[in-house]
Amino acid sequence: MATIHEIMARTFDARTERKSATYTDTPDPEHDRIVRRWNVEPIPPEEIAAAEAAKRRAERDAAMPEPLNILSRHRNQKDFGLPTTLTDEQAVAWAVYLQGLRDYPETGVWPDKPE
């Protein structure tokens, strides 16, 4: 019984192309096998864009806890009349950074983190 030896039709850029669902089988009696050559197809631009947006959302989501916690602490300190660890100007800078993170998936522009 012949085995199936799988290969790609050519090398490809996995960012813009993928293995197709179609292939061609060619007998190779010398090696007692069938060579299955997989085709390559382009990835539709909307799928590439969706994957890039998902990556940006994941990056944003990983960065959001820090400014959320900092701003929450500042609001709590102000609400309870406690001394604040941030000045109001620093709190505004963190709020602007947080908004930049929220906008990042659509804009693609990573905001500058306050110091």
pLDDT digit string (tens) for 7-57? 998 999 999 999 999 999 999 999 999 999 999 999 999 999 999 999 999
Contact 75, 82 (CB under 8 A): no
pLDDT digits (tens, 9 = 90+) for 102-112: 999 989 999 99
Q: For residue 2, name the pLDDT band (cuts at 50, 70, 90).
A: confident
Q: Is the pLDDT of residue 1 over 80?
A: no
Residue boundaries of the structural domains of the chain: 3-43, 52-107
Query: Which residue stretches of the chain are H helix?
Result: 45-63, 65-79, 88-107
pTM above 0.75, yes or no: no
48: phi then psi, degrees, rounded to nearest 5: -65, -45
* Both structure tokens of 75: 């609001």
